[in-house]
Structure 1
Amino acid sequence: MSNCESQKPEAAKDNVSTNSIDEGLPRELSQLSLSSGSNPDEYHFNKGHSESTMKNIYGYYQSQKLCDVTLIAGGCRIPAHKVVLASCSEYFAAMFTGSLREAQSSEITLERVDSQTLRSLVQYCYTGIIELSEDTVEILLSTASLLQLHSVTKACCDFLEKQLDPCNCLGIALFAEQQSCMSLHKSAVDYIQQHFMQVVKHQEFLSLQTEQMSELLKSDDLNVETEETVFESLMTWVKHDNANRDKNLSELLKLVKLPLLSSEYLIDKVEQVCCDIPECQPLIMEAVKWHLLPERRSLLFSHRTRPRTSTIGRLLAIGGMDGYKGASNMEMYDPRTNSWTPFMRMGARRLQFGVAVMQNKLIVVGGRDGLKTLNTVECFDLTSLSWSTLAPMNTHRHGLGVAVLGAGANSPIYAVGGHDGWIYLNSVERWDACSRTWTIVSPMAGARSTCGVASLRGRLYAVGGRDGGACLRSVECYDPATNHWTNCAPMTRRRGGVSVCAANGYLYALGGHEAPANTVGGRLACVERYDPANDSWVLLARLSYGRDAIGSCLLGDRIVAVGGYDGVQYLCVVEVYDSESNTWRKLAPLSTGRAGAAVVSVPPPRNLF
Structure 2
Amino acid sequence: MVLILGRRMNREDSAVRESPAVKRKVLEMDTKALNSHDVFDFSSGPCHAESVLQMFNEFRDARLFTDVVISVEGREFPCHRAVLSACSSYFRAMFCNDHRESHEMLVEINGIRAEAMDAFLHYVYTGRVRITTDNVQYLFETSSLFQITTLRDACAKFLEDQLDPCNCLGIHRFADAHSLKQLASRCRAYALQSFGDVALHEEFLDLRVDELEEYIASDDLAVGKEETVFEAVMRWVYHDVEHRRPMLRQLLLHVRLPLLHPNYFVQTVEGDQIIQNAPECYQLLHEARRYHVLGNEMMSPRTRPRRSTGFSEVIVVVGGCERVGGFNLPYTECYDPVTGEWKSLAKLPEFTKSEYAVCALRNDILVSGGRINSRDVWMYNSQLNIWIRVASLNKGRWRHKMAVLLGKVYAVGGFDGQSRLSSVECYDSFSNRWTEVAPMKEAVSSPAVAGCVNKLFVIGGGPDDNTCSDKVQCYDPESDSWLLRANIPIAKRCITAVSFNNLIYVSGGLTKSIYCYDPAEDYWIHVVHTFSKQVPLSACWVRMRRLV
Aligned-partner Cα distance in 2 for 1:71–1:95 = 12
Task: State the match for 1:462 in structure 2.
Answer: 458
- The answer as to whether partners of 1:315 and 1:601 remain within 8 angstroms in 2 is yes
Matched, 1:330 2:334: yes
Structure 2 counterpart of 1:509:
505
- What is the CA deviation profile of residues 389-425 of structure 1, one whole-angstrom value per residue up to 9, with x for unaligned ones? 668874444xx75422333xxx3x3345689999999
Alignment pair present for 1:220 and 2:217: yes
Whole-Å separation in 2 of the counterparts to 1:439 and 1:462: 19
Which AA in structure 2 matches 1:602? R
Q: Does 1:404 align with 2:404?
A: yes
Confirm whether residue 598 of structure 1 aligns to residue 541 of structure 2: yes
Offset at residue 315 of structure 1 (A): 0.9
1:317 aligns with 2:312: no
Alpha-carbon distance between aligned partners in 2 of 1:367 and 1:153, rounded to the nearest angstrom:
72
Tell me, in whole angstroms, the C-alpha distance in 2 between the residues paired with 1:177 and 1:284: 33
Letter in 2 for 1:135: D
Residues 1:273 and 1:255: Cα distance change in structure 2 (over 3 Å): closer
Does 2:522 match 1:535? yes
Change (3 A) 1:143 1:492: farther
Aligned partners of 1:530 and 1:160: how far apart in 2? Answer: 57
Structure 2 counterpart of 1:160, one-letter code: L
Change (3 A) 1:488 1:64: farther
Give the CA deviation at 1:213.
3.3
Q: Distance in 1 between matches of 2:245 and 2:459?
A: 47
Q: Contact conserved, 1:317 with 1:597, CA < 8 A, in 2? A: no
**TM-score, normalising length: structure 2:** 0.62
**Conserved? CA contact 2:315–2:544, under 8 Å:** no
Q: 2:193 touches 2:222 (CA, 8 Å); kept in 1?
A: yes
Q: Please state if 1:478 is matched with 2:481.
A: no
Aligned identity (percent) is 25
Which AA in structure 1 matches 2:202? Q
Identify the residue that residue 445 of structure 1 maps to in structure 2: 442
Residue aligning to 1:185: 184
- Give the letter aligned to residue 77 of structure 1: F
Q: Does 1:307 align with 2:293?
A: no
Distance 1:38 1:204, change over 3 A: same
State the Cα deviation string for residues 238-270 of structure 1 (Å, max 9, x = none). Answer: 5445xxx51442244444339958996799545
| Structure 2 residue identity aligned to 1:382 | S
Q: Which runs of 5+ in 1 are unaligned?
A: 1-36, 295-304, 549-565, 570-595
Gap regions ≥5 residues in structure 2: 1-30, 292-299, 324-328
State how far apart, in whole Å, the 2-side matches of 1:125 and 1:568 are. 76
Secondary structure (helix, strand or coil) at the match of 1:600 reads strand
Q: Distance in 1 between matches of 2:95 and 2:217?
A: 48
Paired residue total: 475
- Residues 1:199 and 2:198 aligned together: yes
Q: Could you give the per-residue CA deviations for residues 361-415 of structure 1, whole angstroms, max 9, x where no partner exists?
A: 33456899xxx99998664433234455668874444xx75422333xxx3x334
Q: CA deviation at 1:316?
A: 1.0
Larger Rg: 2
Alignment of 1:205-244 (within 5 A): 205-206=204-205, 208=206, 212-217=208-213, 219-221=216-218, 233-241=232-240
Query: Does the C-alpha gap of structure 1 residues 286 and 416 become closer, same or farther in structure 2, counting only changes over 3 Å?
Result: closer
Contact 2:357 2:401 in 1 (8 A): yes
Whole-Å separation in 1 of the counterparts to 2:467 and 2:51: 88
TM-score, normalization by structure 1: 0.57
- The 8 Å contact of residues 172 and 188 in structure 2, kept in 1 or not, is answered as yes
Q: Distance in 2 between matches of 1:200 and 1:175?
A: 19
Q: Partner residue of 1:165? A: 164
Report the equivalent of 1:554: none
Q: Which residue does 2:326 correspond to in 1?
A: none
| Residues 552-581 of structure 1, C-alpha deviations (whole Å, 9 max, x = no match) | xxxxxxxxxxxxxx5599xxxxxxxxxxxx
What SS is found at the alignment partner of 1:307? helix
Q: Distance in 2 between matches of 1:63 and 1:187?
A: 40
Kept in 1: contact 2:316–2:542 (CA 8 A): yes
CA distance in 2, matches of 1:364, 1:50: 80
Counterparts of 2:461 and 2:41, CA distance in 1: 78
Please give the per-residue CA displacement for 1:155-184, whole angstroms capped at 9, x wherever unaligned: 444443444333323322222222222333
1:354, 1:598 within 8 Å by CA — same for their partners in 2? no
The change in CA–CA distance for 1:265 and 1:225 in structure 2 (over 3 A counts) is farther
Instruction: Report if the CA contact (8 A) 1:220-1:307 is conserved.
Output: no
* Residue 242 of structure 2: aligned partner: 246
* Counterpart residue identity of residue 500, structure 1: V
* Equivalent residues of 2:370, 2:397 under 8 A apart: no
